Amino acid sequence: MEVALYPFEYMRIIQRHDEGNHLPHWNPFKICSDKPWDEALEDGGRGYFAPLNDYRVVEKLGTEKTGFSIRIETVNKVKIPFQKQPVILELTLTHLNKDDFDKIQVGEILKKGTKKIREGTSGQASGNHFHVTANIGFYHGFKKNGNNKWCFVYDKSLTPEEAFYVDTSKTYIINRKKYYFVGVNYNKGMTSNEIANIDDYLATKIRGTYFGDYTVSAIKVFQEKNNLNVTGDINLETFEKLLDKGAKL
Ligand SMILES: [Zn+2]
């Protein structure tokens, strides 16, 4: 099962969905709302959107003054955290500069690993960043809500922790702003709730949040059975196989 992975090489979130000028995007609006976060990447330069899933460009919109945006969606259905059924995940990226915006074609596929779109400052952003929203369901339009905020209105807007798993071998976390991200990489010595779920699924002799010797042995058996590299560590490949086989992750 393909998992939705955080699509930037660095995670340095500078504004959550529930603070600053993002709060009026959804509070108290139930219908005309979105839940944006600001991703500023490594430093003050212009880092790339670096997808780890394939995306299709659905729409280009905006102006220099309001900010250039693109709407994209995953080509395949992907598994997102905390939800059982895979979904088409729909993203919006805002504050692109005109140079990158002009290069993008509607209908174009941004393949996994493509680096084409950089963070920018269009729409009077104070510094280079992406204003991102993640969503599922039907798109109802770009609409202004009663708080005077323009929102990408879908059936459901997701916070980043609801939309993405994080592959820490691909994304270096500088600041996750207290979002709880589910990772896909685990190894001996780590502690997390997901390890307890993995232990439960593998029915290890001693179960809990700690990745100890029992988890290592159980993972090795699982990897051997499923023709994966037998390492005792969990990487993306093993994580996705665990999901395929029914682990709750
Ligand atoms: Zn923003």
The token pair at 142 is 């770009």
> Is 61 a domain residue?
yes
Q: What's the domain count of the chain?
A: 2
What is the CA(70)–ligand 1 centre distance, in A? 14
> Is 4 a domain residue?
no
- Answer with the one of 176, 205, 232 that is the final residue of a domain: 176
What is the CA(152)–ligand 1 centre distance, in A? 12
Q: List pLDDT tens digits, range 17-26.
A: 999 999 999 9
What phi and psi, each to the nearest 5 degrees, are found at residue 98? -60, -35
Residue 191 to residue 208: CA distance in whole angstroms: 9
pLDDT at 44: 77
> Is 79 a domain residue?
yes
> Is 26 a domain residue?
yes
CATH number at residue 172: 2.70.70.10
Averaged pLDDT for residues 41-53: 94
Quick one: angle between helices 193-202 and 213-225, nearest 10?
Answer: 60
* Co-location of 88 and 192 in the same domain: no
- Answer with the one of 126, 151, 176 that is the final residue of a domain: 176
* Co-location of 85 and 167 in the same domain: yes
Contact, 242 vs 249, CB < 8 A? yes
pLDDT at 130: 98
* DSSP β-bridge partners for residue 23: none
Contact, 179 vs 17, CB < 8 A? no
Contact, 126 vs 38, CB < 8 A? no
Residue 26, amino acid: W
pLDDT at 243: 95
What is the CA(80)–ligand 1 centre distance, in A? 22
Averaged pLDDT for residues 229-238: 97
pLDDT beyond 90 at 31 = no
What is the CA(37)–ligand 1 centre distance, in A? 6
What is the CA(2)–ligand 1 centre distance, in A? 28
Averaged pLDDT for residues 106-126: 96
* Co-location of 19 and 97 in the same domain: yes
* Co-location of 122 and 227 in the same domain: no
Contact, 93 vs 130, CB < 8 A? yes
DSSP letter, residue 25: G
> Is 3 a domain residue?
no
Burial class (CB in 10 A: 0-12, 13-18, 19+), 147: middle
Averaged pLDDT for residues 53-73: 97
* Co-location of 94 and 157 in the same domain: yes
CATH number at residue 220: 1.10.101.10
In this prediction, residue 244 has a pLDDT band, given cuts at 50, 70 and 90, of very high
Averaged pLDDT for residues 60-66: 95
pLDDT at 136: 98
Q: Evaluate the omega torsion of the peptide bond into residue 28 and state whether it is cis, within 30 degrees of 0.
A: yes
In this prediction, residue 27 has a pLDDT band, given cuts at 50, 70 and 90, of very high
Averaged pLDDT for residues 213-225: 97
What is the CA(95)–ligand 1 centre distance, in A? 9
Q: Which domain holds residue 201?
A: 185-244
What is the CA(96)–ligand 1 centre distance, in A? 12
Averaged pLDDT for residues 107-120: 97
Rounded percentage of the chain residues whose pLDDT exceeds 90: 96
Query: Going by C-beta distance under 8 Å and a sequence separation of 6 or more, which residues neighbour residue 50?
Result: 7, 8, 9, 113, 114, 115, 170
> Is 97 a domain residue?
yes
> Is 249 a domain residue?
no
* Co-location of 47 and 103 in the same domain: yes
